[in-house]
Chains A and B, each alone.
Chain A
Amino acid sequence: MAEVVKVCTQNFGKGAQDIEVYKKLGGYANISERLFNMSQFELIDYVQRSNLRGRGGAGFPTGMKWSFVPRNSGKPVYIVVNADEGEGGTFKDHFLMMEDPHRLIEGLIIAAWALGSRAAYIYCRGEFLPCIESINKALNQAYAAGYLGENIMGTKFCFDIFVHRGAGAYICGEETALINSLEGQKGQPRLKPPFPAVSGAWKSPTCVNNVETIMALPWILQHDPSEYAKMGTPRAGGTKVFCISGDVKNPGVYEAPLGTPMMTMINEYAGGVVGGKLKAVLPGGSSCAPLTAEEAAVATMDYECLASMKTMFGSGAMIVINDTHNMVDLLNCLGNFYSHESCGQCTPCREGTGLLHRMLNLIVAGKGHDGDVELMQSLCGGFGGVTICPLSISLGGPVSSYTAKFRADFDEYIAKNPDHAKPRVQETYRPGIFW
């Protein structure tokens, strides 16, 4: 395994939660003339040239996102850090915030300088209380050291960071839902347009960025943007923090350049598949289509390759599945998850995820029927592009792809029902029985 440059995880295990250690490791070096001599426009151009793309899942270019934020509009500009990571298989932000909270703060100061933001909110999911403690401790140290607050390091620049503790809703990872949640409402995605960059939190321009995106900024500012862009693929620069979980020897968080072959990640970084032969890989979190072992052998971990294989890069969360698992069990997990996490706003998602979840439960309980799989596929057709946010597709996609790629697993389960071939009986309406 070649030595790779570590952008976000370089301080792991070095005790960088303490500001003195972090400074010794080169931290906060950016919060100096290097940043103060830059105009907002230059800094945004700088990030654009680094080819940094949002690390939360959608992969939108960060510099471009920032350039959409109107400057000097008279309204405050908010930066909101999306630390509501809750998708199955994704756990990078948890460790990034635990191990290196000061890097997040430094990155936020840089982002705030670029956008002219006065206040930033770190929306951290409620389960991550240890992360919040870690960040709050770091914030106290940063305030004491003068990196935050009024007139930072003698400039006219003032900046505050607040941590907002979520309370258990996966959907708040969607940026408009996150903004609603920040405003003290239910985390339900908003209709778009207007997009948050124009009218987000409290109707002000708002930039929602992932933890990892913000944490890449200190490194980018210290180095030349071209150096960062060079590390990745032509369309997406830099390294990525991959989370590898499931049936591998060493599951965990690994930083590697974009475009690393999938099997290199599994075999060299994570120590190979354990417990059986490789059956499938979910390359970008639980909501993406799985790759079979043959597909995984040729895949590389970047946005373009995975998109061409009809799955997605997402947040770089690889879930490795060996051949001892039945895919129906795993799909049932997803059914439970997405039906539980649907915000209940759009009809297809609210009713559809629940229905799929119940059908999957029945199949797993040995009560499936012939035709259930076709019905599920048909129901998922009703999800495509009709809801406000893509949560319904996050279940619809896996249902379609699991049933298409691993049909034998489903048939095996359905065959367990002795009555599986029984046709559907139309339950007739019998007035007078109940009322």
Chain B
Amino acid sequence: MSNYYNMPKLPTENSPKVEIFVDDKPVMVPGDTNLLEALKAVGIETPHVCYHPFLPVSGNCRQCLVEQEGPRGRMLVIACYTPVAPGMKIYTPASSARVKNARKATQEFMLVNHPLDCPICDKAGECTLQENYMEAGQNESRMRPEYGKNYHGNPEHQFIDAKGQVRGGKHVDLGPRVLLDEERCVQCDRCVRFMRSIAGSEQLQLAGRADHTYITTFPGEKLDHEYDLCVTDVCPVGAMTAKYFRFQKRVWLLSHTPTISMDDSLGANIWLDHADGHIYRVMPRCNPEVNRSWLSNTSRLAFQNFDKNRLPAIDVESLPIGKGKIALVAGGSCTMEDLAALRMFKESLGDGAELFGGSLLKVGAPDGIAKSGDPVANRSGMKLMGFADVSEFMKRASEFETLVTVNADLFGEDAAVAKDLEKINCRIALSAFDDATARKATIAIGVRHWSEVQGTMVNSLNIIQKLNACPVCPDENLEAAYEVISELAGNKLESASAAFAKATEYASALAGLTYDSIKSTGKLLEGGNA
């Protein structure tokens, strides 16, 4: 479709408020956005399929119709493409039978070629079409089976089912991570727009036209992109499904924990969807400032290893720390609370201890979508807390006699450093995983993984964001790193809010903040550049 679709303007806190008339009642709405977002801001939901706040507007589903009073009388317009204008008069189904009927008609058209396979559809329960249908749908079909269907997807994938009906391809392998069900596609164009406008690689297209339009990649090519799983998020129906989550769990059985992906310093906001003690999938959590609605495959699929190769909890009263200098190295996924505990620990050890943080992995370039390229998630936090970079430690590694690593897999990150590090006699590793550093350690203490702890982190945009504990910890004896460290320091911090209070003492930029005052979308710290 046209390359000239524009991104929708979304309302912000600073949007000017203008008065419009919805169903003849005056309401104040954000003035610099489209009607759909403006109505949402005042609590009026408009059903939509093709519109996505972070994708260019294509306006092709025609589901978000409202009536607008214009010079030529009341006209049906699509809310997603109509800008808000002061004084405009809008009629929603609440007062206009025409709008109600038009939406109902569009809904009926949308279901003409859509299969009724919700019971086996992974999207059931979070399907836009289902939601619209339950809200505005027509409950009895007017079609006869004789009318048949035109749309069977790609002719190459059609087959004849046991009833003798021509069917569209049910699981077309689009690439390494995504499967396509051609029958369920409603041609909303979202995946095409995502791949073209957001991912910047036009790998998907709608081929053909009219009601035999079908989604396809170029013949013989695979859908393969770092963000290709996002097409399964934007797909309003069950056409695009992720292979890793297919048939794993009904979505209404999943509980959701909002947290932060700690593998990149942008700190993508995510949902950990879990049930019966396991994470089943990771979904991006909308944060317009940070990752919008996107999440990279790496961050999304990382959860598959969260419960594997874990270190057990061990009870340690005190550490066999030598007399020489002590290096305390915090890994990239350490939260602010862990850093605060480390500082407490350093103070308890006296002048011989020094704080380092970071990782030996290379820092990449930001991709402009949901990754900053820096594997040290809390790098900004480390700066605030006065941690020197780990490269500094590597330069002076020979000075130290004791090394304490917290979720910092120095051995694993760079095999070349093993030679230097092995010269340090006492190596203590606090780690979630039984990684190379833990195996080489004198003592390896298991701690909770970041998905299982409460805490905060400061991302590369200087936004402090909050992690929540997902109840999937494989061993209930495991404690968060800050709990273990602070206990070693002699003053156990019992909760994340207590630990955060400690962190505010050390970092002036956090002064005045409390753990509970940080919202789910984070808070921009002073001097930030977001």
Contacts and interface: CB of A to CB of B under 8 A. Distances in A.
B60 A342 contact: no
Classify the interface of chain B: helix, strand, loop or mixed: loop
Classify the interface of chain A: helix, strand, loop or mixed: loop
B517 interface: no
B213 A344 contact: yes
Contacts of A355: 109, 112, 143, 147, 150
Contacts of B143: 355
A148 interface: no
A160 interface: no
A268 to B, nearest CB: 38
Contact of A347 (B4, B109, B146): B109
Contacts of A180: 2
B186 interface: yes
15 contacts: A186-B209, A191-B5, A191-B81, A339-B150, A342-B210, A347-B106, A348-B105, A352-B112, A354-B112, A362-B147, A382-B106, A386-B62, A386-B102, A426-B140, A435-B120
B147 A359 contact: yes
B319 interface: no
Most chain A CB within 10 A, of B106, B119, B189, B212, is at B106
B3 A388 contact: no
Contacts of A426: 140-141
A350 B113 CA distance: 10
A347 B3 contact: no
B102 A382 contact: yes
B162 A169 contact: no
Given A354-B150, A381-B105, A347 B206 contact: no
B62 A348 contact: yes
A346 B60 contact: yes
A343 B209 contact: yes
Contacts of B3: 183, 185
Given A348-B105, A350-B210, A426-B141, A388 B110 contact: no
Nearest to B147: A358
Interface in B387-427: none
Contacts of B208: 344
B61 interface: yes
A361 to B, nearest CB: 9
A132 to B, nearest CB: 23
A351 B60 CA distance: 12
A386 B144 contact: no
Given A188-B2, A359-B147, A382-B109, A434 B163 contact: yes
B203 to A, nearest CB: 17
A427 B140 CA distance: 11
Most chain A CB within 10 A, of B2, B110, B161, B210, is at B210
Interface in A345-396: 345-348, 350-355, 357-359, 362, 367, 369, 375, 378-379, 381-382, 384-388
B102 A190 contact: no
Given A342-B211, A344-B187, A191 B161 contact: no
A387 B81 CA distance: 13
A431 interface: yes
Contacts of B60: 345-347, 388
A139 B60 CA distance: 39
A186 B144 CA distance: 33
B210 A340 contact: yes
Contact of B109 (A351, A357, A429): A351
Interface string A316-360: 000000000000000000000001111111111011111101110
A223 interface: no
B112 A351 contact: yes
B144 A369 contact: yes
Nearest to A359: B147
A392 to B, nearest CB: 10
B59 interface: yes
Interface in B1-19: 1-5
Contacts of A434: 161-163
Contacts of A340: 210
A347 B140 contact: no
Contacts of A378: 142
B530 interface: no
A169 B208 CA distance: 11
Given A342-B210, A367-B146, 17 more contacts: A183-B3, A339-B150, A341-B210, A344-B187, A344-B212, A347-B49, A347-B110, A350-B211, A351-B110, A355-B112, A357-B150, A358-B150, A362-B147, A378-B142, A382-B109, A424-B142, A426-B141
B75 to A, nearest CB: 7
Interface string B141-164: 111111110110000000001110
Interface of B: 1-5, 49, 57-63, 65, 75-76, 81, 101-102, 105-106, 108-110, 112-113, 116-117, 119-120, 140-148, 150-151, 161-163, 186-187, 189, 206, 208-213
A190 B112 contact: no
A318 B440 CA distance: 90
B323 to A, nearest CB: 70
A417 to B, nearest CB: 10
Contacts of A387: 62
A344 B186 contact: no
Given A348-B106, A351-B109, A431-B119, A188 B1 contact: yes
B1 A339 contact: no
Q: What 10 A-B pairs have minimum CB-CB distances, sorted nearest first?
A: A382-B105, A354-B211, A344-B213, A351-B109, A342-B210, A354-B150, A351-B112, A345-B60, A344-B209, A348-B109
Nearest to A375: B142
B1 A386 contact: no
A217 B303 CA distance: 69
A347 B105 CA distance: 10
Given A375-B142, A386-B65, A342 B109 contact: no
Nearest to B151: A354
Contacts of B145: 427
B187 A350 contact: yes
Most chain B CB within 10 A, of A183, A344, A359, is at A344
A302 B62 CA distance: 34
Contacts of A339: 150, 210-211
A346 B58 CA distance: 10
Contact of B76 (A344, A346, A379, A386): A386
A203 interface: yes
Nearest to B49: A347
A390 B58 CA distance: 17
Contacts of A358: 147-148, 150
Nearest to B81: A191
A307 to B, nearest CB: 14
A362 B106 contact: no
Given A347-B106, A386-B65, A386-B76, A353 B210 contact: yes
A435 B1 CA distance: 36
A84 B120 CA distance: 46
Given A355-B147, A358-B150, A382-B106, A347 B1 contact: no
A429 B187 contact: no
A186 to B, nearest CB: 6
A185 B2 contact: yes
Nearest to A186: B1
Contacts of A186: 1, 206, 209
A382 B136 CA distance: 14
A358 B143 CA distance: 11
B1 A345 contact: yes
B211 A344 contact: yes
Nearest to A429: B116
Nearest to A372: B144
A181 B5 CA distance: 15
A426 to B, nearest CB: 7
A287 B14 CA distance: 49
B288 to A, nearest CB: 23
Interface in A376-435: 378-379, 381-382, 384-388, 424, 426-427, 429, 431, 433-435
Contacts of A382: 101-102, 105-106, 108-109
A359 B58 CA distance: 30
